[in-house]
Amino acid sequence: MKKKKFNFSGTIAFVIALLVLVIFVPINLITGYYDKVFDMTPTKRYTLNEKTVELLDNTSDKQIEVYYLSLLEYFKDAPEYLSLYHTLTQLDARENIKLTCFEPDSNPDLAASLNAGGNLETKSGDIFVRCGEVTKRIDHNKIFQKNADGVFQYAGEELIDAAIETCTSGSLPTIYFLKGHGEKSIEESYSVYANQLKTNNYDVQELNLDETGAIPKNAKIIYLAGPQSDLTDKETELIREYFEYGGAMSFLLAPCDTKGRFRNIEGLLEDFGIIMDYNYVTETNAANQLQNQEMKQSEEFMRVEYTKLSEDQTQDLTSEINYLVENGELIDGISGTRSFALIPETSFKNAADVEVMSIVGNAVNMDGSYSTKSTPMGGDAETVAEAKKLSDMNLDYGYYSMNKRSAAKIIVLGSTDVIDIDKISPSVSATQMLLTFSNTWLYDSDIQMGIGNKLNAYDSMKFRDANHARSVIVIVIVIPIFVAVLGVIVWLKRRHA
């Protein structure tokens, strides 16, 4: 009599299943309780970048408050927003960071306390970071973005890092308006524009460089707006040194009826490949004239064109402005301006190091001609003769220029009307916006850590055609299923062997 063979496969399978339940169910419950996440995403969307960790370690002695003007529960179960949820909860886990989440409509007093200076908006979804007396706002529209291909991106970690670094430094990045050369004051003439800058998380101060003898360390951008006299030699030397360390400056050089040339200002512009004309430009073609502050058509208010992005440019300052103009949201005008020109490349000693490009110029007529009139103003006999030659010609009213070696940047514009409350008009709204946007190019306080945006990465497959798709389906789906079924059939036949 043959001995019966016992098959332990069923018993073993049962024991293994029981062990799986005993081991993994408690683990799942524990990890769920502690909200532990294992980040397997390619861009580590749910894990703080090592640069963020380093920043947090270096600022662990600072008491930091983070306010999220919404409730985290809204996003915990939304996959596309989980990255923000995990960033904020990991920040909250730090002993020196306090996270507060609330709806601004539900707690208006707390929202108002975040906007103590009156220059910051408090909208649902915004993030505020505060350390000591310094508060920085992060616009909710910047936290999640889409790139040119429509791919959803998370920029929140970079923005929060920049805010923490700024606030823990003790002061906001500061824009200084130079004075001492007959310029108008911020309080009397440029207050509206200064408040716009403050809304974008800059502090705004005035600076008499000839008196202080130094450029403050927190100076991120310097404005020279409407000088009536030249810079001193001492100031020029300090600004050149500032440029050697990657400084940024905005020259708003409106025409002025003073005698003599601004040799030092000219010298600074020439370092960046730009020549300043001593003229006042007006428009003779009524079709290109715009309305002034009294809503009357004026030859001083004229239509302009913003440079289209070309292959020669690595910097894009005008595409968004052109888009807004084309969609009727802004008016493409300027007023009270002088013109500028490029130094010929053959005589420009810094040509290899400098990228310089026009950003705004006069409008061309239907027949391809130009109808602007150039009237000499200021300067000397040489500049007067040059200014007389510039009528009915293609002129530039503004440039950007950057030194690729030192990383210094400048914006040059021939008008201050775009920021002067006594002169500004809706007709110049696009040029005013161009100047506002240029500050982000000169110094972007939101991008400092180099983390970049984290993409929502999705697995995908591309097929040449339908036949290719069918063959791939057979390989990755049909064949494995066939093998699995075959294995089950073999097991069923041999399970009592």
Question: Per residue, what are the HEC states of the chain?
Answer: CCCCCCCCHHHHHHHHHHHHHHHHHHHHHHHHHCCCCCCCCCCCCCCCCHHHHHHHHHCCCCCEEEEECCCCHHHHCCHHHHHHHHHHHHHHCCCCEEEEECCCCCCHHHHHHHCCCCCCCCCCCCEEEEECCEEEEECHHHHEEECCCCCEEECHHHHHHHHHHHHHHCCCCEEEEECCCCCCCHHHHCHHHHHHHHHCCCEEEEECHHHHCCCCCCEEEEEEECCCCCCCHHHHHHHHHHHHCCCEEEEECCCCCCEECCHHHHHHHHHCCEEECCEEEEECCHHHEEECCCCCEEEEEEEEEECCCCCCCCCCCCHHHHHHHHCCCCCCEEECECCEEECCHHHCCCCCCEEEEEEEEECCCCCCCCCEEEEECCECHHHHHHHHCCCCCCCEEEEEEEECCCCCEEEEECCCCCCCCCCCCHHHHHHHHHHHHHHHHHCCCCCCCCCCCEECCCCCCCCCCHHHHHHHHHHHHHHHHHHHHHHHHHHHHHCCC
Same domain, yes or no, for 183 and 282? yes
Task: Show the DSSP H helices in 262-416 as ranges.
Answer: 263-271, 319-326, 381-388
Same domain, yes or no, for 239 and 339? yes
Q: Is residue 5 part of a domain?
A: no
Q: Is residue 157 part of a domain?
A: yes
* pLDDT tens-digit readout, 74-106: 776 677 788 888 899 999 999 999 999 999 898
* pLDDT tens-digit readout, 419-461: 999 998 999 999 999 999 999 999 976 666 667 777 665 555 6
Identify the CATH number of the domain in which residue 264 sits.
3.40.50
Query: How confident is the model at residue 346, as a pLDDT?
Result: 83
Identify the CATH number of the domain in which residue 85 sits.
3.40.30
Query: How confident is the model at residue 395, as a pLDDT?
Result: 97
Same domain, yes or no, for 125 and 182? no
Q: Which tokens go with 255?
A: 């025409």
Same domain, yes or no, for 243 and 287? yes
Q: Is residue 494 part of a domain?
A: no
Same domain, yes or no, for 334 and 207? yes
Q: Is residue 1 part of a domain?
A: no
Could you count the other beta carbons within 10 Å of the beta carbon of residue 388?
Answer: 12
Question: How would residue 173 be classed by pLDDT, with cut points 50, 70 and 90?
Answer: confident
Q: Is residue 257 part of a domain?
A: yes
Same domain, yes or no, for 213 and 161? no
Q: Which residue, 124, 139, 169, sits at the end of a domain? A: 169
Query: How confident is the model at residue 471, as a pLDDT?
Result: 72
Across 284-305, average pLDDT: 95
Same domain, yes or no, for 94 and 148? yes
Q: Is residue 37 part of a domain?
A: no
Q: Which residue, 169, 193, 213, sits at the end of a domain? A: 169
Query: How confident is the model at residue 341, as a pLDDT?
Result: 97
Same domain, yes or no, for 327 and 427? yes
Query: How confident is the model at residue 399, as a pLDDT?
Result: 98
Burial of 484 (0-12, 13-18, 19+ CB in 10 A): exposed
Residue range of the domain that includes 371: 174-442
* pLDDT tens-digit readout, 364-392: 999 999 999 999 999 999 999 999 999 99
Average pLDDT, the chain: 86
Query: How confident is the model at residue 428, as a pLDDT?
Result: 96
Q: Is residue 7 part of a domain?
A: no
Q: Which residue, 126, 152, 169, sits at the end of a domain? A: 169
Same domain, yes or no, for 113 and 235? no
Using a pLDDT cut of 90, give the percent of the chain over it: 57
Contact between 417 and 254 (Cβ < 8 Å): yes
Bridge-based pairing of strands 340-342 and 274-276 is antiparallel
* pLDDT tens-digit readout, 203-229: 999 999 999 999 998 899 999 999 999
Q: Is residue 102 part of a domain?
A: yes
Same domain, yes or no, for 159 and 227? no
Same domain, yes or no, for 194 and 287? yes
Greater confidence (347 vs 468) lies with 347
Overall domain count for the chain: 2
Contact between 277 and 340 (Cβ < 8 Å): yes
Query: How confident is the model at residue 272, as a pLDDT?
Result: 97
Of the candidates 75, 69, 199, the residue with the CA atom closest to the CA atom of residue 127: 69
Same domain, yes or no, for 161 and 223? no
Of the candidates 121, 111, 107, 116, the residue with the CA atom closest to the CA atom of residue 134: 116
Q: Collapse the DSSP code of 326 into the 3-class scheme (helix H, G, I; strand E, B; otherwise coil) and give the result.
A: helix
Q: Which tokens go with 50?
A: 């090592």
Task: Give yes or no for residue 122 having a pLDDT over 90.
Answer: no
